[in-house]
Chain A
Amino acid sequence: MNELQVLILGLLLGGVYALMASGLTLLFGVMRVVNLAHAAFIVVGAYGAYFAFELLGLDPFVALGLIMPAFFLLGMGLYRLLFPRIEGSPRFGEMTVLMTFGLALIIEGLLAFYFTGIFRSVDPPYATQAFILGPVFVPRAQLYASLTSVVLLMGLWAFLRMTRTGYAIRATMQNRVAAQVVGVNVRRISTVSFGIGMALAGAAGTLVSFIFTFFPARHWQWIAILLALIVLGGMGSLKGAVVGAVVLAVASSFVSDRIGPTWAPMTFFAALFVTLMVRPRGLFGKEIDR
């Protein structure tokens, strides 16, 4: 393939990875929680889109409008159920890693039990069409998914910059005690952030449902990729997640084209190792205290 073609495919993929990673990095920023179940929830979102399409005949872009609010509520409920009892524990960090790891296993098990391990994907008409622009082709599904990601990320950015709750979330990310001192109810903010993180996972799941195939265990590969790119960008930084996603998606699509598709995932892990050796806090990350 020519360079331009590889670049375009990489950029389109990067847009979707950025959305997939945004919820993960937001949650880490606000709560210092690495949610290892994040990609499992993305898979749940993909199944949601699948059944909305197969059973109700809903296009994924219509399903998006249902899945995001449902996931938002689910996230807030889950937070209230799981986190209050371990908050304030000196082992909070370790406990959340184990808890979210367990959660990922449970979700995978339930999905496999009810929906089997069959590879699935959603097939709206545009899934197999492409725009031809001179020497390059632009797959419609990837283009729509990527543009939707960009719109959602801009919405998130505007929300964080312009609303009272957005200010409270950023304040909590920058200094949790200071946020408490000025009267931010940090438990409420953590709950809302968990909801937003889940809504982003649901949205990402809906979009990947028609550009990738998925099955219950698919989340392990995704969470590994997402962790690599948020470490590169800087844990807890949204800007970092976007830059990390785009850089690594483009890099991996060149590796895939020039060396071979089996090597594409290696790009992410190579970047992970290099980041941890050279600049552990990543491109836009802060030194982690605590």
Chain B
Amino acid sequence: MLLDIQNVEAGYGSAPPVLRGLSLQVEDNRSYCVIGPNGAGKSTLLKTIVGILRPRRGTIRFQGESIEGLRPDEILQKGICFVPQDRSLFPEMTVQENLRMGGFLIRDRRLLRERLDRVYELFPILRDRTNQVAGTLSGGQQQMLALARTLMIEPKLLCVDEPSLGLAPGIVDQVFETLTEFRKQGMTVLLVEQNAVRGLSWADWGFVLDLGALRFEGPADGILENPQIRELYLGRLAARGEE
């Protein structure tokens, strides 16, 4: 098992917890999609896994090792990468500087150079814009850069929060193709997606989150066909996704 979350409670400041005793497991070399209504705690779950939020209770194990309470840089070092909902680039740095920052933990210059070359091979559009300031890229290019940046670390587990948000349909296709490519490279992807139909048809396994807890899980295509889930959680989401 790659990631094992048990009874995690997490939230913001002194407010009541957002995640209320959530448990879920992630296996190696599969792809996962988390769906759920707005405010269900999907983003909070990812932030808690990568250490930006500290769980108040419960355990998180990654490859058998307990990681709850570690700092984000320590968790990244263990091989969990995160692409937040707002992409989180460095707007005043160039594409190349953003990629180099993606490899901030790599101190070996040669390795850094190799990784950079490989990223440019996979993302020729970024090579063409290597000296452009990230803040001036289009939304789709920014998402590509945010995804590409994670390759600098070659994580075992990649957590991506709503990568298709605000992008044109053609660009969304590119984003999913990129995620498929990452899977082929041996990464396990944990995707949070508002566009439930799109996300579930891409993933192997689906999680349905509501009110800070796991309500249902199963093979992704099964979730799409399960009438009960459709009615309870997918109705609105599917309608939005198919718009």
Residues of A in contact with B, size category: 10 to 19
74-133 of chain A: CB within 8 A of chain B? 88-90
Verify if B50 is at the interface (C-beta below 8 Å from A): yes
Verify if A213 is at the interface (C-beta below 8 Å from B): no
**For the complex, what is the distance from the CA of A126 to the CA of B89, rounded to whole Å?**
50
Task: Tell me if B88 and A177 are in contact (CB < 8 A).
Answer: yes
154-196 of chain A: CB within 8 A of chain B? 164, 167-168, 170-171, 174-175, 177-178, 180-185, 187
**For the complex, what is the distance from the CA of A181 to the CA of B102, rounded to whole Å?**
8
Task: Tell me if A182 and B89 are in contact (CB < 8 A).
Answer: no
Q: Which of A174, A175, A183 contacts B76 (CB 8 A)?
A: A183
88-103 of chain B: CB within 8 A of chain A? 88-93, 97, 100-102
**For the complex, what is the distance from the CA of A164 to the CA of B50, rounded to whole Å?**
23
**For the complex, what is the distance from the CA of A168 to the CA of B104, rounded to whole Å?**
8
**For the complex, what is the distance from the CA of A171 to the CA of B52, rounded to whole Å?**
16
Task: Tell me if B52 and A177 are in contact (CB < 8 A).
Answer: yes
Binary B-proximity of A213-231 (CB < 8 A = 1, otherwise 0):
0000000000000000000
**For the complex, what is the distance from the CA of A227 to the CA of B73, rounded to whole Å?**
34
Q: Which residues of B contact A184 (CB under 8 A)?
A: 73, 104
Q: Which of B14, B81, B82, B101 contacts A171 (CB 8 A)?
A: B101
Residue of B with least CB distance to A88:
B13
**For the complex, what is the distance from the CA of A47 to the CA of B12, rounded to whole Å?**
44
Shortest CB distance A117–B (Å): 43
Verify if B140 is at the interface (C-beta below 8 Å from A): no
Task: Tell me if B13 and A183 are in contact (CB < 8 A).
Answer: no
Contact A170 to B93, CB < 8 A, known contacts A177-B52, A181-B50, A182-B101? yes
**For the complex, what is the distance from the CA of A221 to the CA of B82, rounded to whole Å?**
46
Contact A171 to B88, CB < 8 A, known contacts A180-B72, A182-B104? no
Q: Which residues of A contact B97 (CB under 8 A)?
A: 167
Task: Tell me if B91 and A183 are in contact (CB < 8 A).
Answer: no
Verify if B84 is at the interface (C-beta below 8 Å from A): yes
Q: Which of B77, B81, B83, B92 contacts A174 (CB 8 A)?
A: B92
Task: Tell me if B52 and A182 are in contact (CB < 8 A).
Answer: no
Verify if B125 is at the interface (C-beta below 8 Å from A): no
Q: Which residues of B contact A187 (CB under 8 A)?
A: 71
Task: Tell me if A183 and B50 are in contact (CB < 8 A).
Answer: no
Q: Which residues of A contact B71 (CB under 8 A)?
A: 185, 187
54-81 of chain B: CB within 8 A of chain A? 71-73, 76-77, 81
Q: Which residues of A contact B153 (CB under 8 A)?
A: 183
Shortest CB distance A31–B (Å): 17
Binary A-proximity of B9-53 (CB < 8 A = 1, otherwise 0):
000011000000000000000000000000000000000001010
Q: Which of A164, A171, A180 contacts B90 (CB 8 A)?
A: A171
Task: Tell me if A174 and B13 are in contact (CB < 8 A).
Answer: no
Verify if B239 is at the interface (C-beta below 8 Å from A): no
**For the complex, what is the distance from the CA of A90 to the CA of B14, rounded to whole Å?**
9
Shortest CB distance A203–B (Å): 26
Shortest CB distance A132–B (Å): 45
Q: Which residues of A contact B102 (CB under 8 A)?
A: 182
Task: Tell me if A90 and B101 are in contact (CB < 8 A).
Answer: no
Verify if B105 is at the interface (C-beta below 8 Å from A): yes
Contact A177 to B84, CB < 8 A, known contacts A88-B13, A89-B13? yes
**For the complex, what is the distance from the CA of A167 to the CA of B71, rounded to whole Å?**
19
Task: Tell me if A183 and B72 are in contact (CB < 8 A).
Answer: yes
Task: Tell me if A180 and B52 are in contact (CB < 8 A).
Answer: yes
Q: Which residues of A contact B93 (CB under 8 A)?
A: 170-171, 174
Known: A181-B76, A181-B83, A183-B76. 8 other contacts (CB 8 A): A89-B13, A167-B97, A168-B104, A170-B92, A170-B93, A182-B102, A184-B73, A185-B71
User: What are 15 A-to-B residue pairs whose CB atoms are below 8 Å?
Assistant: A89-B13, A90-B13, A164-B104, A167-B101, A170-B93, A174-B93, A175-B90, A175-B91, A178-B84, A180-B73, A181-B50, A181-B72, A182-B149, A183-B72, A183-B104
A interface residue numbers (CB < 8 A to B): 88-90, 164, 167-168, 170-171, 174-175, 177-178, 180-185, 187
Which 5 residue pairs across A and B have the least CB separation, nearest first?
A178-B88, A183-B73, A180-B72, A183-B105, A183-B76
